[in-house]
Amino acid sequence: MAYLLTMFATTGKYTRSHRLSKELLLAQAEAMGIPVYHRRASWNTYETEFKRALAFFKRKGIQGGIFGDLHVNEHREWVERVCAKPEIIPLLPLWGLEGKDLLGQFIEAGFEAVVIVVKNSLLGTDWLGRRIDRQFMNEMEKEALDICGENGEYHTLVIDGPIFRKKIAIRDTRVVRRKEVSFLEILNFELKEKGNELLPHFEMERKW
């Protein structure tokens, strides 16, 4: 994998959808040893800026992009539309897979993720900060909600896993409530060593 791609709000302070800080995104990319490229956008300019990001990758010689959508057709149609003009091949390796099986494999593989966004009409703020584990899966099923949050029920931050060379330890948070969604804002965190592996030189590609 050559790059990660993230879209920031127009202020450049937080990510567009998940309210994650630039510092946290940089740390997560460092933890995986993969550079991250990002652009600023409003909701009105999001698609245009996303296409510009894909055009940047095309100029770098990148032929395809990986997207994690499972079954929402509108998401797939959007991905295919934005990839068309820059001639980036949209790869959706998870498309059509059973969400319960997929999330179970994610947990069994050793990935750790925490809930950082919830849709207020479906989940309370007590779900913020929850670890994605078997109990979480069981409770989502009881609520009759999409177990992977494909309809925006929740969003997560991955803090550790087999592809991570360091792990993210969350030290301090606060809840930020908006009209439709609530966020877990991470105020303080630490990158912790997992072993003696040497990390490669890491730089963040910027377009401000």
**C-alpha distance from residue 156 to each of 83, 127, 191 (Å):** 25, 11, 18
For every residue of 144-181, DSSP letters joined together read T--TT-TTSSEEEEEEE-TT-SEEEEEEEEEEEE-SSE
For residue 103, the tally of other CB atoms under 10 A from its CB is 21
Nearest to 125 by CA among 175, 188, 178: 175
Is residue 113 exposed (0-12), middle (13-18) or buried (19+ Cβ within 10 Å)?
Answer: buried
Is residue 123's pLDDT more than 60?
yes
Express each pLDDT in 42-66 by its tens digit: 999 999 999 999 999 999 999 999 9
Domains and CATH numbers, the chain: 1-97 (no CATH), 98-193 (3.90.1490.10)
pLDDT at residue number 17: 85
Express each pLDDT in 181-195 by its tens digit: 999 999 999 999 986
Q: What is the pTM of this model?
A: 0.88
Mean pLDDT over all residues of the chain? 92
pLDDT at residue number 197: 44
